[in-house]
Structures are given as C-alpha cells and as structure tokens.
Structure 1
C-alpha cells in the first residue's frame, strides 16, 4: 500500500476506491475510527463465515463498538467492547456463542492487537417468530 500527503492528512488508493485519513474528521477518517472499524469489520466477516459454514441462518447482525482511550498516552486505545446483536428464527444460544468463539480465534485484526488492546464482546440474541 502506498500513502500520499493530502490536504490535512494522507490518501491511499485501494481497489475499492480512495481512502482519506486525517486527524480532522472533516478531511478524512480518523485513524482510531479505522482501527475500530477494522476490528469490528473483521470480527463480523469471520463470524458470518462461521455461521454460514455451520448452516446457521440469521436475519440481521449489528455490532456496536465502544472505545476507551487512555487520557495519559496520546489517546492510545486501551479497550474495545463489541456488542453483537444477532437476529433470526430459532437461534440456539450455545451454537451462536460457540461460533463467536471460533470467529474471535480466526479474526486477524483481533489477533494482531489483543496483546495490547483489551477486546471484550457481548452477545445478544433476538429470536424472531416465524
């Protein structure tokens, strides 16, 4: 990946398009937003693949991320809490929990930072009627 100076930050061009990165939200994505999005996005993608492999159908998945930064270390991210809300019909809690454990073990973004950033997860299952 190549990065180039842009107005107020840096830019990279990826196969999906241009990505502007800046400490100023008006000029691009803030680095901490990209870090959290990487963790949540990776986790969701791997979780979905695990569910698909186990043939567990879901209707919806929402992940909310809460970030805690250190007030003493230049806003260093010290923890990310992911709240998963999984909706579907006849979902079995034990199967979904096991799938989440497998996803966590296979998410490259979580594995990359888990020794320096505390990652926690909460699972909420909403069973919909037929």
Structure 2
C-alpha cells in the first residue's frame, strides 16, 4: 500500500476506490474510525462465515461498535464494545454466543489488538414470528 500526503490529510488508492484519512472528518476518515471499522468488519465477516458454514438461518445481523478513548494518553482506543443483533426464526441464542467466541479466536484484527485494546462482544437475539 502506498500513501500520499495531501493538504487535508493522507490518501491511498485501492482497486475499488480511494481512501482519504484526516484528523478532520470533513476531509476523510479519522484513524480511530478506520481502526474500529477494521475490528468490527473483520469480526462480523468471520462471524457470518461461521453461521453460513453451519447453515444457521438468519434474516439480518447488525453490529454497533461503541469506542472508549483515553484523552490523557494521546486519545488512544482503550475499549471497543461490539454489540451484535441477530434477527431470525428459531434462533438458538446459546449457539449464536458460542459461534461468536469462535469468531473472536479467528478474527485477525481482534487477535492483532487483543493485548492493547479491550474487545468486548455481546449478542442480542431477536426472534421473528
């Protein structure tokens, strides 16, 4: 990956689009947003693959990420709380929770930051009728 300095921040290009990074949200993604998106995106992708491999039927999965930063230490990310909401018919909450543990162990981003950022995961199951 190559990065280029711009007046408003930094830019990098990928085959599908450009990515602008800036401390000012008017000009691009803030670095902590990208870090959080990487953790959440990886976790959710791995979780989805596990559910699909086990042929667990679900209608939708939503994920919210709540970030706690420490302003006294360069505004570092201290904790990311990932809250999953799985919607579907005849869902087994215990099985969904166990699969989330498996996803955690297989998510490269969570494993990369596990000793420096506290990652908490919770799951909510919404049964559709």
For the superposition of Structure 1 and Structure 2, which TM-score range results when normalised by the shorter chain? over 0.9
Structure 2, unpaired ranges of 5+: none
Secondary structure of the 1:58 match is coil
Secondary structure of the 1:81 match is strand
Conserved in 2, the CA contact under 8 Å of 1:60 and 1:87? yes
Residue-by-residue CA offset, 1:38-97 (whole Å, 9 max, x unaligned): 011001100000000000011111111111111211100000001100001000112111
C-alpha RMSD over aligned residues: 0.7
Q: How many Å separate the matches in 2 of 1:99 and 1:7?
A: 45
Q: How many Å separate the matches in 2 of 1:82 and 1:93?
A: 16
Q: 2:97 corresponds to which residue?
A: 97
Q: How many Å separate the matches in 2 of 1:61 and 1:15?
A: 27
Q: How many Å separate the matches in 2 of 1:17 and 1:43?
A: 23
Q: 1:66 corresponds to which residue?
A: 66
Residue 8 of structure 1 and its aligned partner are, at CA, apart by: 1.3
Q: How many Å separate the matches in 1 of 2:7 and 2:14?
A: 18
Residue-by-residue CA offset, 1:3-59 (whole Å, 9 max, x unaligned): 001221110001221000000000000000000000110011000000000000111
TM-score normalized by structure 2?
0.98
Q: How many Å separate the matches in 1 of 2:42 and 2:15?
A: 18
4+ residue runs over 6 A deviation: none
Conserved in 2, the CA contact under 8 Å of 1:7 and 1:27? no
Secondary structure of the 1:41 match is helix
Secondary structure of the 2:82 match is strand
Q: How many Å separate the matches in 2 of 1:46 and 1:7?
A: 37
